[in-house]
Amino acid sequence: MSGLDQIFVGIGHGLAGWAPASVRPLVAAVLEIAGIMAVFGSCFALTTIVERKVLGRMQNRYGPNRVGPCGLLQPLADGIKMLTKEDIVPFSADKTVHFLAPLALTVPVWLAFAVLPFGRNMSAIELNSGILFFFAIGSASELAVFMAGWSSQNKYSLVGAMRAIAQMISYEVPLVLSTVPVLMLAGSLSLNDIVAAQGTYTFGGLARWNVFTPWGLAGLLLFLIAATAESNRSPFDLPEGESEIIAGFLTEYSGFKYALFFLGEYLGLFALTGLAVTLFLGGWHAPFQWLEWAPSWLWFGIKFGALIFLFIWVRATLPRLRLDQLLNFSWRFLTPLSLINLLVAAAWYWTGAWKSAAAPPVRWLLCAALIALPYHWLGQALRGASPPPRKYNYAE
């Protein structure tokens, strides 16, 4: 088991062992960075083609099928196209900020991967407050989006950036709140500890993942919705809404800078997906005890791929929301529900001391009712209320 499981760790140690002792930590760090960048860089290329293929399939058309066998070389062609395109900077743009914005978006997103545990002994740095690092680094992207929108000196860009910032700030609240129950019950901010807390097995060899508890299931759903909004994906892709504001803050970007934004957006999605796997789906642990023989990184990859497919599926299915619907959905529905989820986690914690044989199902149903009933009532209350008539301040 340990041979294949630790193969990447072993390769890393072996390669670093060649270096002289004084620079060995540096070489090891560079190798880790190179590994992360290679894996998730190719993941990005793969996802672009898979996404277009799956979208095509779901919408009853072919998708890209001209470049290479079954169109599999399409990412390569896209990459060459992006690199060779002319880099257009608008005449009135703020040149420095316009240049820095794609970098300011992409660099922090790469940094977020440093704390994710991809397998047993496979996280680049182990921080006591890993999840805090993740969100702190992620908060830099809002400023980058503003830089892109403002420096373009274009009304569509600025409107797109403002939409993006409003959306990111609104959905960061449920995103962070939905992770809090996990931290509370694991008693740690370290992602490795959180994975370790989900590493035991209960009846029938079923894993003790957080998603199998009522608060974990609700938390995962809240987290996935908020993550879709954070990474500006359909149905929350208003910042780029092509039919309304051309391409939002991307309007004045072309060539390689546009590719960098694209990369940053997908990598942000990957990082959030990796965090969802780590927090709710047991990280690199197998779902059943008798499946533990498979390498840990393979389990992480399978869960990761499944969630990415879910995101593509949602994108193919749902239409775009309106801005007021989007903000109301976050503040009136997701945020209260994620607060209630905190109480459910507390109830789960206190009922953990029950000893009788009937305790587990009763406890599960009680906690599930604690989150399901508010969900139903809140949904009914918000559906019944007709929205106030729209008032136009500037467009009379």
Residues in contact with another protein by CB under 8 A are: 94, 97, 127-129, 132-133, 135-137, 139-140, 142-143, 146-147, 150, 165, 169, 188-189, 388-389, 391
Contact criterion met (CB below 8 Å) for 315 and 234: yes
Q: Which is nearer to another protein, 141 or 213 (CB)?
A: 141
Distance of CA 13 to the CA centre of its chain: 30
Q: How far is the CB of 158 from another protein (least distance, A)?
A: 8
Smallest separation, CB 161 to another protein (Å): 10
- Closest CB to another protein among residues 134, 304: 134
- Taking the complex as a whole, the smallest distance from the CB of residue 284 to another protein amounts, in Å, to 23
- Could you give the dihedral angle defined by the CA atoms of residues 271, 277, 280 and 281, in that order, rounded to the nearest 10 degrees? 180
Of 111 and 314, CB closest to another protein: 111
User: What's the min distance (Å) between Cβ of 147 and another protein?
Assistant: 7
Closer by beta carbon to another protein, 176 or else 302: 176
Residue 72 vs 132, nearer CB to another protein: 132
Contact 125, 114 (CB under 8 A): yes
**Shortest Å, Cβ 391 to another protein:** 6
User: 208: Cβ–Cβ under 8 A, 6 or more apart, which residues?
Assistant: 198, 199, 200, 201, 202, 282
SS3 135: helix
In whole angstroms, how close is the CB of 302 to another protein at the nearest point? 31
Q: How far is the CB of 371 from another protein (least distance, A)?
A: 25
Closer residue to another protein (CB): 4 or 346: 346
> Rg of the chain's alpha carbons, rounded to an integer?
23
60 vs 393 by CB, closer to another protein: 393
**Sign (positive or negative) of CA dihedral 144, 146, 149, 150:** negative
**Which string of DSSP letters, residue by residue, matches 249-270?**
GGTT--HHHHHHHHHHHHHHHH
Query: Alpha helices, DSSP H only, in the chain?
Result: 2-5, 7-18, 24-58, 74-84, 95-112, 130-138, 140-151, 155-186, 191-197, 214-230, 242-245, 255-280, 296-317, 323-328, 335-350, 359-384
- Dihedral over Cα of 218, 223, 226, 232: its sign: negative
Least Å from the CB of residue 216 to another protein: 22
**Which residue lies nearer to another protein by CB, 179 or 188?**
188
Give yes or no for a contact between 207 and 198, defined as CB atoms under 8 angstroms apart: yes
CB 44 within 8 A of CB 266: yes
Cα separation, 97 vs 82, whole angstroms: 21
